[in-house]
């Protein structure tokens, strides 16, 4: 049986979806996180994910399995993120620990949302490109950070609901 994935003409082209949101993944290494993020993006109608070249492959077997088919509906591209973000023409939101409370932040319907590496966050070279820095408040106060996929789900819910 041959399975084909829809062709993607390029990461600059706007793809169909319910939102004009692009997820930008910086150096994610865990295949389970990437698969879950692709599946979560599909759930919220996000049709485009741009990854740094050193992010785990979207064709890694664990990624493919954890997308539960969403890989066929969400375009995933790999490129130089600094270059892409510099020319994307959208507000650039980043999930950071020193950002503004996401509950009180003004959100635009068209945006690039940057999610950083599981242990190191967003690369220092990408930080200056962020136009908006978002923090998911630590209500419980006992954890140091959130899982990248969980943080992505929380942020996408704020942008889309």
Q: What is the pLDDT of residues 117-143, one digit of tens each?
A: 999 999 999 999 999 999 999 999 998
Distances (CA, A) of 75 to 82, 134, 147, 148: 19, 25, 22, 19
Q: Which domain holds residue 94?
A: 20-136+145-160
Q: What's residue 95's pLDDT?
A: 93
Which token pair is 159? 């942008």
Check which CATH number belongs to the domain holding 89 and give it. Answer: 3.40.1280.10
Mean pLDDT of the chain: 90
Separation of alpha carbons 155 and 132, rounded Å: 13
Q: What's residue 4's pLDDT?
A: 54
Q: What's residue 15's pLDDT?
A: 41
List, for the chain, all residue ranges whose pLDDT scores fall below the cut of 50.
2, 7-18
Which token pair is 51? 């990854």
11 belongs to a structural domain: no
Which token pair is 29? 């290494």
What's the domain count of the chain? 1
């Amino acid at each position: 049986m041959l399975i084909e994935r829809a062709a993607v003409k390029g990461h600059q082209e706007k793809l169909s979806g319910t939102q004009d949101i692009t997820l930008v993944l910086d150096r994610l290494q865990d295949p389970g996180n990437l698969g879950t993020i692709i599946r979560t993006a599909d759930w919220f109608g996000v049709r485009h994910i741009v990854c740094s070249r050193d992010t785990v492959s979207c064709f890694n077997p664990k990624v493919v399995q954890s997308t539960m088919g969403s890989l066929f509906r969400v375009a995933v591209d790999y490129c130089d993120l600094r270059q892409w973000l510099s020319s994307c023409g959208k507000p650039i939101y980043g999930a950071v620990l020193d950002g503004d409370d996401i509950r009180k932040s003004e959100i635009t319907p068209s945006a690039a949302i940057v999610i950083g590496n599981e242990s190191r966050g967003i690369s220092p070279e990408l930080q200056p490109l962020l136009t908006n820095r978002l923090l998911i408040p630590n209500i419980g106060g006992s954890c140091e950070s959130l899982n990248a996929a969980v943080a992505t789900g929380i942020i996408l819910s704020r942008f889309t609901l």
